[in-house]
């Protein structure tokens, strides 16, 4: 294979480079001249591909005009050069096998997911946009975050200081397990931002099978995000080792993960009106100069042993296959979770915070929680009875926790233990009807009296040429509040409470038609004794009932090579003081999708995010919590992004102009009070898969 590449422009002269890549049956030759002028770079790329021995010739011409800073011209040229040269060296078809799945934490139940290789909307492949279509956050990737959609928020944890970091953490809920015929690797790099404030996110994945049964892998995720404003830099590292074993009788899943986050805390802008002026974001004054450190280490291991029999299955008149049918499965799950939070001020901030209890010159607040969980289960598999095809599971779970906290300026320890029993009735096999019912009760220890009843029922059938899914879900639960909601002391916040259990009832349903790209989800939840943070950022329990209702509509349209994705959410809260929510949240994505020259998938488009005005929760740095306020409304401002996505064989890459309407539209582009989102910036990224 021969590849000729020419980049041309008119004014700026750069050295000429020759390169040659040999890869067994392929070779690539290129001649590149990097030329640009002023603040605009014009790239004209002409590609000639000749396939041997078929003598097929492919001509590709791509012209771009991008306005960027002079420092970043070299970066753009280098990225494009890397993409073109590395991608075209892999034009032979790939016939690979990669199977992926997620698991549930309690029993490691497998839920298959597709391999992430789709070229559409690669520009949204970041922790914030994947989390929800509308979020409150400090402005840059890696900062504390809360979804503005109530039903997108994860369940609260015992360590209240980790809730704001949920989308960024590598843990059991977020790990992907693999099974591959050949080693599989992925490199992913996303960058963007203004001069000297560049945001870099590097991800690495490697996984491979030692044999048909055993797979191991590792991931690395590093983020450096200085932010566009003062004192808001984020540094994050997460890494993991994972593995799975799938034998005839014995199966196992394991995860060892670490997460480390460092966030500068600025308390938001001193003067919110600064964003309406021509001031550079770096000279806009912020309230404080603090720092939060968060660490989480997780060790997880689930293993199961099944006993059963071999059932003969006739293949044809001459041969019979014997399939193993599990009857009873014994399971054990072990999890160790160590989470720590530290808030530090080099000099005590006394103006921003209402209270300061310490007498020292610095603030150094530390808390931590270590949890050891063991779950023993026994299951009767669906396959064991051909007349009554359902599964039965009984389990016993024990949890031991060690709380480390400050009291009277001294670190203290407190141990808690809880034990619960539960059962599951399920039918997960079958094309028409499936269900899962779970009930559990904490009968001993610190959380005695907590209970959970939940279930989902789904019907799946055909209507004309389309498939239809009707799924109903619901739960009733009573949960003891986190120990830290009742007991906490720090330099700026102290409280002693005796909160009652929170009681919640939820009913929801989803109607979907996958072939029509349509889904409608309706959810209603009632909360009694709801705990929230009041206007002083102190935990408070509302003694009455609060109801939340949401309708989530998704519908995509496709006309020729054009697509329009739509996600419209209507939600309402019966108590906006304790639980404020925007009534309408919208996401729309209009794009052109085509395959050029039969090899290059291209998506060119623009998307917009919008929500109505409401009293959005504010953020309190010292405790890392979102609290209610009734002085500043946020919303009625669209955020528009334009982008170009490309996918060629094993490689995806994108260019995005984020918040492009900031160039011609004035408005309060705040994510939450005093915290604006980034101004208009250019982002780009590349993802490259390896199958060897």
Q: What pLDDT, on the 0 to 100 scale, is given for residue 430?
A: 76
Q: Residue 387 has what pLDDT?
A: 64
Q: Is the pLDDT of residue 91 over 60?
A: no
- At residue 6, the pLDDT reads 37
β partners of residue 222: 202, 237
- Residue 386: the pLDDT is 64
pLDDT at 48 over 80: no
Q: What's the pLDDT score for residue 464?
A: 76
- How many Å apart are CA 469 and CA 55, to the nearest integer? 49
Q: What is the pLDDT of residues 383-393, one digit of tens each?
A: 666 666 788 99
Token output for 88: 């075209």
Identify the pLDDT of residue 34.
Answer: 38
Residue 632 CA: distances (Å) to CA of 198, 615, 629, 674: 30, 6, 7, 9
Burial annotation 576-589 (CB, 10 A radius, 16+ → b, else e)? eebbbbbeebbbbb
Segment 216-222 mean pLDDT? 97
Give the rounded percent of residues in the chain with a pLDDT score beyond 90.
71
Secondary structure of 574-642 in the HEC alphabet? CCCCCCCCCCEEEEEEEEEEEEECCCEEEEEEEEEEEECCECCCEEECCCCEEECCCCCCECCCCEEEE
Residue closest to 595 by CA, chosen among 124, 188, 119, 121: 119
Integer angstrom CA distances of residue 668 from 137, 276, 621, 677, 679 = 15, 7, 22, 10, 11
Phi (first) and psi of residue 593, to 5 degrees: -130, 125
Phi, psi of 475 (to 5 degrees): -160, 160
Residue range 529-549: average pLDDT? 97
Taking only the tens place, the pLDDT of each residue in 73-86 is 444 444 454 444 44
Give the 3-state secondary structure of residue 174.
Answer: coil
Q: How far is CA 28 from CA 4, 5, 434, in A?
A: 7, 9, 53
Sorting pLDDT into bands at 50, 70 and 90, what band is 46? very low
Question: Which are the contacts of 340, defined by CB distance < 8 A and separation ≥ 6?
Answer: 293, 294, 295, 296, 366, 367, 368
Task: Report which of 432, 453, 429, 433 is spatially closest to residue 441, judged by C-alpha positions.
Answer: 453
Least confident of 250-254, 317-321, 541-545, 580-584: 317-321
pLDDT at position 348 is 94
What class is the 98-690 domain?
A: mainly beta
The lowest-confidence range among 19-23, 384-388, 508-512, 621-625 is: 19-23
The whole-angstrom separation of Cα 549 and Cα 44 is 52
505 and 525 in contact (C-beta within 8 Å)? yes
Q: Do the beta carbons of residue 432 and residue 462 sit within 8 Å?
A: no
Q: Which residues pair with 528 in a beta bridge?
A: 503, 545
Distance (Å, whole) CA 109 – CA 379 = 12
Q: Where are the domains of the chain?
A: 2-88, 98-690
């Amino acid at each position: 294979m021969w590849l000729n590449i020419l980049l041309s422009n008119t004014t700026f002269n750069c050295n000429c480079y020759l390169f040659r890549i040999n890869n067994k049956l392929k070779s690539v030759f290129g001649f590149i001249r990097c030329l640009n002028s002023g603040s605009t770079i014009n790239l004209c790329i002409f590609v000639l591909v000749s396939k041997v021995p078929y003598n097929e010739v492919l001509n590709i011409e791509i012209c771009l005009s991008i306005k960027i800073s002079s420092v970043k011209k070299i970066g753009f040229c280098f990225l494009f050069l890397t993409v073109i040269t590395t991608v075209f060296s892999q034009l032979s078809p790939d016939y690979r096998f990669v199977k992926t799945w997620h698991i549930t934490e309690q029993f490691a139940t497998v839920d298959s997911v597709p391999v992430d290789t789709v070229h559409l909307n690669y520009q949204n492949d970041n922790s914030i946009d994947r989390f929800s279509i509308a979020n409150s956050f400090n402005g840059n990737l890696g900062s504390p975050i809360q979804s503005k959609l109530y039903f997108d928020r994860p369940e609260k944890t015992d360590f209240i200081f980790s809730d704001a970091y949920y989308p960024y953490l590598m843990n059991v809920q977020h790990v992907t397990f693999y099974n591959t015929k050949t080693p599989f690797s992925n490199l992913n790099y996303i960058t963007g931002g203004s001069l000297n404030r560049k945001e870099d996110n590097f991800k690495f994945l490697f996984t491979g099978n030692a044999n048909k049964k055993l797979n191991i892998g590792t991931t690395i995720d590093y983020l450096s995000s200085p932010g566009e404003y003062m004192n808001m830099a984020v540094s994050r590292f997460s890494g993991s080792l994972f593995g799975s074993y799938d034998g005839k009788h014995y199966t196992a899943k394991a995860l060892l993960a670490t997460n480390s986050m460092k966030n500068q805390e600025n308390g938001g802008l001193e003067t919110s009106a600064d964003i309406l002026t021509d001031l550079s974001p770096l000279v806009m004054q912020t309230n404080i100069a603090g720092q939060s450190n968060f660490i989480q280490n997780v060790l997880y291991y689930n293993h199961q042993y099944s006993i059963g029999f071999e059932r003969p299955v006739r293949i044809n008149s001459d041969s019979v296959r014997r399939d193993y049918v599990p009857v009873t499965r014994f399971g054990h799950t072990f999890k160790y979770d160590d989470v720590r939070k530290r808030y530090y001020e080099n000099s005590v901030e006394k103006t921003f915070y209402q209270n300061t209890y310490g007498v020292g010159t610095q603030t150094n607040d530390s808390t931590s929680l270590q949890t050891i969980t063991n779950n023993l289960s026994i299951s009767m598999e669906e396959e064991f009875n051909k007349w009554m095809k359902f599964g039965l599971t009984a389990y016993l779970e024990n949890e031991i926790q060690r709380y480390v906290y400050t009291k009277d300026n001294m670190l203290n320890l407190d141990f808690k233990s809880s034990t619960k029993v539960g059962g599951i009735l399920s039918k997960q096999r079958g094309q028409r009807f499936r269900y899962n019912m779970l009930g559990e009760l904490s009968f001993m220890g610190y959380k005695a009296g907590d209970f959970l009843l939940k279930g989902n029922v789904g019907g799946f059938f055909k209507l004309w040429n389309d498939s239809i899914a009707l799924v109903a879900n619901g739960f009733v639960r009573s949960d003891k509040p986190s120990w830290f909601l009742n007991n906490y002391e720090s330099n700026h916040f102290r409280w002693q409470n005796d909160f009652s259990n929170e009681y919640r009832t939820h009913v929801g349903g989803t109607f979907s038609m996958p072939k029509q790209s349509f889904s409608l989800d309706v959810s209603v939840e009632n909360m009694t004794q709801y705990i929230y943070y009041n206007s002083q950022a102190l935990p408070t329990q509302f003694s009455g009932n609060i109801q939340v209702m949401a309708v989530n509509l998704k519908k995509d349209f496709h006309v020729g090579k054009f697509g329009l994705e739509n996600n419209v959410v209507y939600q309402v809260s019966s108590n906006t003081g304790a639980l404020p929510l925007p009534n309408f949240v919208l996401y729309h994505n209009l794009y052109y999708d085509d395959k050029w020259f039969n090899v290059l998938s291209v998506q060119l488009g623009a998307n917009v995010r919008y929500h109505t005005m409401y009293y959005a929760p504010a953020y309190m740095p010292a405790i890392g919590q979102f609290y209610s306020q009734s002085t500043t409304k946020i919303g009625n401002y669209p955020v528009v992004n334009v982008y170009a996505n490309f996918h060629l064989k094993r490689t995806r890459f994108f260019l995005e102009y984020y918040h492009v309407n900031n160039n011609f539209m004035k408005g309060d582009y705040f994510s939450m009070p005093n915290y604006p989102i980034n101004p208009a910036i250019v982002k780009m990224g590349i993802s490259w898969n390896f199958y060897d």
